[in-house]
Amino acid sequence: MRRKTRDEILTHIALIIIVLAVMAPVLFALAKSTQTRAEVYHFPPKLGFGSAGLFNYKVAWTQYDLGLYMKNTLIVAGIVMFFKTLFSMLAGLGLVYYDFPLKEWVFYFILFTLMMPTEIMIVALFNEVSNMAKALGLENSYAVLTVPFLASATGVFLFRQHFSSIPSELADAARVDGAGPVRFLWSILVPISWNAIAALALIQFIYMWNQYIWPLVIIRENEMQLIQVGLRSLTNQQDTTNWGLVMAAAILAMVPPMLIFLLLQEQFTKGFALGQEK
Amino acid sequence: MSTAKFKGKWVPWLFMLPTLIILAVFLYYPVIQTFKLSFYRVAFLGLKTKFAGLDNYIDLLHDSAYHHTVWVTLVITTAVVIIGLGISLAISMLANQKIHGAQVYRFLLIWPFALSPAVAGVVFLFMFSPGFGVVNYLTSLVVGHELNWLGDPTLAVILVIMASVWKNLGYNIVFYLAALQNLNTEVLEAASIDGANAWQRFWHVTFALLSPMTFFLLITNITYSFFDIFGMIDILTKGGPQDATNVMIYNLYRDAFEYYKTGLASAQSVILFLLVVFVTIIQFRTSGRQVHYGG
């Protein structure tokens, strides 16, 4: 018994040290974000909270357009989250509840796109989308930031897997009641699929919020820029970089995805049925 | 399971249409274009393109700077995978102990899940800056002088690896913890009764049972090091110093968008694509179907 308590205390100590070590960079950023310029450049470095309060946050938000970037990114992530979930569910419905020729081909057509991350075709995608945008007058728009990302194999397969695990009696009952596929989707599948929906929404939100290379190459107007590239422009003025301000911006940039993750964490684990044997 | 529940010939196509169109237009088409572009060369500031056959590939094959880029990518990938997964597994095992407040510890360990490569890059850039960065202050206390993290090629690679490992920690721990919690504890108890020591229990039981998850994380960490690392490199080192951290995706980006060598960049895309196909085939061969959690 005594040995067990000693072991437990050691585990606690180890975990506390690890938690602090993992948090250290963010705690450091948090402390620096409240310091004045003089405090930031003080030697030896000051690690406590400074006397600037929320001043850096205010300046970052208004003068350095963080508010604008966050609004843009929120809109872009929201659009992609909504439509990708919708399109993935519809495709899942088609794949699971219908029989049609070429089904296997469609399956592989979708599957192969897992091997095509944006970065790999960045040159061709840039050419294609900027030509399209020019023709349609949609340069520097939400459209160029969202439309290429409205579909994904991840989403389709998540719902395909989820729908397949739902007892087929449900669909039979719906058909006997005379419900069409759309009503079946809306009044039966959606209510019992919230975990999968939340899991996909979470993944998509974080993915879009953290996007970097695409807005970097396709957006030419500061007005339409997204948050990660906005952070980049803050650090690019090397000599005059006000690090308190940059740290405030970094903290602001990590808050929304982190909140969503902590909020939906349980649904995420259930939605992906993590670790369960298939 | 494959029995149809609804009838209709074209209805399923209607449902799948939005997804299929977007995948065709914004994934298949640009990938095919990438292959095509890789056989062309742009001249006169992008005004003219001419067919160049395999010239772009031959150039890459003979370019020692490109070889270096591939090497750097492999070094960083290997380090991020081995160090990152090792640390994550150790932390997850510790956090999986049945102790008071285990939930709190887990919560405090998984929040970096949502960290972006750019944010990690910005924070590490500041911490490791010469002159006023806090890490340099600490190293000067220990070693007696500052270390030039951003100016020394070896140190810059180490810096990128550290920042990447930190950035991926939350993600790896979320998945390892979930796998550990689903682990069949009876096997561990049986091994314990059979007289297996702690190390044997870990290696022959826990690690073996976790191998599907380890394999999944291996793939996602490789994907990170190939592609997502771009934002971090762009902010932290810009591929420098002396190309020490110039990974394949960053080199490709610069060739395409700074030097306008579209054909050469496309050839690099094709090489990266073949690497991804290779990794994916291995994934399917060994672990069957696994969901990809990227896009």
Each residue of B180-197: pLDDT tens digit?
888 777 777 787 788 778
Domain extent, residue A209, equals 64-271
pLDDT band at B67, cuts 50/70/90?
A: very high
**Closest chain A residue to B10, measured at CA:** A100
Domain count, chain A: 1
Q: Which pLDDT belongs to residue B85?
A: 96
pLDDT band at A122, cuts 50/70/90?
A: very high
Chosen from A22, A85, A242 to mutate, greatest number of chain B CBs within 10 A: A22
* Contact: B114, A26; criterion CB under 8 Å: no
Residue A51 has pLDDT above 90, yes or no: no
Could you report the per-residue pLDDT of B73-127, keeping only the tens digit for each?
A: 999 999 999 999 999 999 999 998 888 888 889 888 988 888 999 999 999 999 9
Instruction: Report CA B191 to chain centroid distance, whole Å.
Output: 35
What mean pLDDT do residues A18-31 have? 93
Chain A 188-217, residues with CB within 8 Å of chain B CB atoms: 203, 206-207, 209-210, 212-213, 216-217
Residue A223, domain member (yes or no): yes
ipTM of the complex: 0.89
Residue A194, domain member (yes or no): yes
Q: Which pLDDT belongs to residue B48?
A: 74
Residue A267, domain member (yes or no): yes
Nearest residue to B169 (alpha-carbon basis) of B108, B223, B215: B108
Residue A55, domain member (yes or no): no
Q: Which two structure tokens, joined as six digits, stand for A109?
A: 């057509």
Question: Looking at CA atoms only, how far is residue B160 from chain A in angstroms?
Answer: 14
Residue A274 has pLDDT above 60, yes or no: no
Judged by average pLDDT, the poorest of A117-121, A186-190, A273-277 is A273-277
ω into residue B153 within 30 of 0, thus cis? no
Which chain A residues contact residue B8 at CB under 8 A?
98, 181
Q: Domains along chain B?
A: 57-287 (1.10.3720.10)
Give A227's contacts (C-beta < 8 A, 6+ positions apart): A66, A69, A70, A72, A73, A209, A253
How far apart, in whole angstroms, are the C-alpha atoms of residue B289 and residue A153? Answer: 13
Chosen from B107, B109, B122 to mutate, greatest number of chain A CBs within 10 A: B122
Question: What are B41's strand-pairing partners?
Answer: B50
Phi, psi of B48 (to 5 degrees): -135, 140
Q: Which pLDDT belongs to residue B74?
A: 95
Residue A59, domain member (yes or no): no
**Closest chain B residue to A39, measured at CA:** B132
Q: What is the mean pLDDT of chain A?
A: 88
How far apart, in whole angstroms, are the C-alpha atoms of residue B141 and residue A232? Answer: 31
Q: What percentage of chain B exceeds 90 in pLDDT?
A: 52
Q: Which pLDDT belongs to residue B45?
A: 62
Q: Which pLDDT belongs to residue B291?
A: 44
Specify the CATH number for the domain of residue A89: 1.10.3720.10
Q: Where do we find the tokens 């006023």?
A: B132
Residue A2, domain member (yes or no): no
Q: Which pLDDT belongs to residue A1?
A: 53
Residue A187, domain member (yes or no): yes
What mean pLDDT do residues A56-79 have? 93
Residue A116, domain member (yes or no): yes
Q: Does B23 touch chain A (CB under 8 A)?
A: yes
Q: Which pLDDT belongs to residue B287?
A: 61
- Give the SS3 label for residue B288: coil
What mean pLDDT do residues A249-253 have? 95
